[in-house]
Amino acid sequence: MLRYALVIVGVLLFSIAIVKKAADTCIIHADKWNEKAAQMLSVTHEVMPERGDILAQNGEVMATNMTYYRALIDFGVPKFKAREFNDSVKILSQMLAKYFPNKTAAAYEKGMRSAFLRKKRYYVLVREVTGHDYELLKTFPFLRYSTPYSGFYIDPNREKIIKREKPYGTMASRAIGGLDETFHGNSGLEKALDSLLYGIPGRTIKKQIPSGIVDWVSDPPQRGLDVKTTIDIDIQDITEQALLQTIEETQPEFAVAIVMEVATGEIKAMSNLSRLPGGEYLETVNNAVQGYEPGSVVKPLSMMIALDDGVVRPNDVINGHNGVFRYPAGARVRPITDTHGRASMTAIEAMKYSSNIGLSEIILRGYERDPDRFVQRIYEVGFMEPFDLGIPGTARPTIRHLKATVQDRINLTRMSYGYTTKIPPIYTLALYNTIANDGKFVKPRLVKELLRNGKPEKVFDISYIREHACKPETARALRQMLYAVVNDDDGTGRLARSKKVTIAGKTGTVRNIGADGKYESRYRITFCGFFPYEKPQYSCIVLLGKPDLPGMPSAGRYCGGVLKKIAETLYSMGRLDVPMAMPSDSTQTFAPSIMKGDIAETRQVLQRLGVRGDVSDCYNIETYCDSMPDVSGMGARDALYLLEQAGLNVSIQGRGRVYEQSIPRGAALQPGTTVILKLK
């Protein structure tokens, strides 16, 4: 009885303590606890919105968010199938190494066996997988068992990683830009349009429910807008490949190529490549929008103003001073010189020969008494206006005003042929685009429209810096001059001449200025032009900074050669509004030579062309290879796809078709091994 009495007394005392504590909490200190509860319920957290995509002109994704998860195994689940695991671990490791080759099969096997022996509850099998990858993993040996038996799972709420990915890799990378650690843009379009792309953050509050306090989304986040650019994937790819081929030969410090549509000002391609210390080229600095002393490539601007103001006519004769022009006479200054001296020349020839003396004489004829009038005219044509491209850090031309002094008259002559100024390549391109467009100075643009939920919210129409930067007849005369530069046998740009597409344009060669302000022995070379000449569709500028070549490199050969490749490839693709000349000199049909590639696609092409061909060297790209295939003669894409299907890592050197592979044909394949392909 005593024992029961003690229990009852204990229960009563415990009950009294609970009542006392409840009274203390709910009555005596009620205000304090209510305030604390209110503080907990007032805590809010920001919910990051989903960032909008950046798209090419046809809607293909160039930058998007990708969600990754950690693929995990819990080796401590009660029903873990230990025997099946031991039977499958070796083949499972080989499959993992093939599809997720960041580790070898041996490393996968060692890690899983160690975790199994320790009954590890949280083993990271693959650090980053997409939802598609997870579904693939669930088909692998052992992992195909459900979670209670295999321990395999992902935790989408806890182990989620969001990354900004560029499906096309480095293509137009500097124009697209990048993000910082807060998922805000820090360069390119990502930065310029950050407020639109980022979206509107949501908000969570603490809410009390019967089981406790949870985070409740009170204001859902709003996804950012999608930005559709003017970039044409095909033209961008063509431009980058043409630029890379020339880079391999010239090894410049940096290279720039831009392609613009003449009528609309839409930038169809923009490539910026800089050489890293190891010799590799990557998109690092957007040199397309940085100012450089342009040299002779800007001479059409001087000629345009002189023609428009009636200072000169195309066939007017200009004094050539036999290649040495001392201005002003008697002054102790460096004379203006031409490489090939002439006693005289017409205005057309001054442009064709890229004569510094000819352009100086023409500009002095009209503006010697009032040098700043020439600068004012540059402003009047709209050349100094901001373009608002959406690329942060875009420079405007640097062209200083002049006074009626001897020194500034000397500066006027230098300015006439592209010295004492700084002009970004995009501005030089806009000038040539204006000439190709009959004097209409269309504003270059990189953004086409903004989309919300796939529907246009804002469309950026064509706009003009000047409706008429020059008279149509002036533009016509300039086009004829630029035609002569490329297509006459004595033109400085003759190495850019094409038999397929008529190209018009101008070269520019200038010495680099060093940190000490003096000219170096290395050059910067440029070619800017448009095509086809008869009905211009595209304008293009190519610039190579400090190419590793002896002497004075040919801008027509190297930079003009890039433009020529772009023009001829677009012609071959049927992208130019000119008839394709396909003369036939025989009634006999010859079977085409078939290079190695995908057999199904090759047969489809032959069928469409209505011809026969030997496809014995082609592969079924979808077939799994158990030994190293012979990929010599294949293009990069076919070889890459075939070898990655076999679980190999592929390193590609050069451009063109495979001529050498580091693993010989017929060798046994080890998934995760790196094979080096050399192309030319």
Helices (H), 368-471: 371-380, 406-416, 425-436
CA dist., res. 141 & res. 126, Å (int): 15
Residue 664 lies inside a defined structural domain of this protein: yes
User: Residue 429 is part of a domain; what is its CATH number?
Assistant: 3.40.710.10
pLDDT tens readout for residues 113-130? 999 999 999 999 999 898
pLDDT at 651: 75
Are 241 and 306 in a shared domain?
A: yes
Residue 341 lies inside a defined structural domain of this protein: yes
pLDDT tens readout for residues 358-367? 999 999 999 9
Are 635 and 654 in a shared domain?
A: yes
Residue 195 lies inside a defined structural domain of this protein: no
Residue with tokens 């993000």: 179
CA dist., res. 265 & res. 211, Å (int): 61
Which residue in 46, 403, 319 sits closest to 202, CA to CA?
46
Are 221 and 310 in a shared domain?
A: no
Are 432 and 330 in a shared domain?
A: yes
DSSP code per residue over 646-675: TT-EEEEESSSBEEEESSPTTPBP-TT-EE
Helices (H), 118-193: 131-137, 147-150, 173-176, 188-192
Residue 504 lies inside a defined structural domain of this protein: yes
DSSP state of 59: S
Are 354 and 283 in a shared domain?
A: yes
Domain ranges, residue 163: 54-172+208-226
Residue 58 lies inside a defined structural domain of this protein: yes
Residue 49 lies inside a defined structural domain of this protein: no
CA dist., res. 324 & res. 568, Å (int): 39
**Other CB atoms closer than 10 Å to residue 366's CB: what's the count?**
18
Residue 250 near residue 549, CB atoms below 8 Å: yes
DSSP state of 162: E
Are 446 and 407 in a shared domain?
A: yes
Are 371 and 445 in a shared domain?
A: yes
Residue 196 lies inside a defined structural domain of this protein: no
Residue 192 lies inside a defined structural domain of this protein: no
* Domain boundary pick from 159, 193, 226: 226
pLDDT at 298: 95
User: Residue 661 is part of a domain; what is its CATH number?
Assistant: 3.30.10.20
Are 157 and 290 in a shared domain?
A: no
Locate the DSSP E strands across 170-293.
202-209, 212-219, 226-229, 254-261, 267-275, 281-282
For the chain, the first-to-last Cα distance in angstroms comes to: 102
Are 162 and 113 in a shared domain?
A: yes
Tokens at 536, concatenated = 């211009």
Residue 98 near residue 90, CB atoms below 8 Å: no
CA dist., res. 29 & res. 51, Å (int): 47
Peptide bond into 532 cis (omega under 30): yes
CA dist., res. 87 & res. 73, Å (int): 17
Residue 651 near residue 676, CB atoms below 8 Å: yes
CA dist., res. 6 & res. 278, Å (int): 85
CA dist., res. 166 & res. 229, Å (int): 14
Are 277 and 162 in a shared domain?
A: no
> Structural domain tally of the chain?
4
Are 239 and 361 in a shared domain?
A: yes
pLDDT at 565: 97
CA dist., res. 429 & res. 436, Å (int): 11
Are 219 and 281 in a shared domain?
A: no
pLDDT at 484: 97
pLDDT at 649: 75
Tokens at 330, concatenated = 């008697």
Secondary-structure percent of the chain, ordered helix, strand, coil, rounded to 5: 35, 25, 40
Which parts of the chain have pLDDT scores under 70?
1-7, 9-11, 13-15, 17, 19-44, 206-217, 517, 580-626, 654-656, 671-672
User: Are β-strands 447-452 and 649-653 bridged in parallel, bridged antiparallel, or unpaired?
Assistant: unpaired
* Domain boundary pick from 572, 607, 630: 572
Peptide bond into 141 cis (omega under 30): no
User: Are β-strands 61-73 and 160-165 bridged in parallel, bridged antiparallel, or unpaired?
Assistant: antiparallel
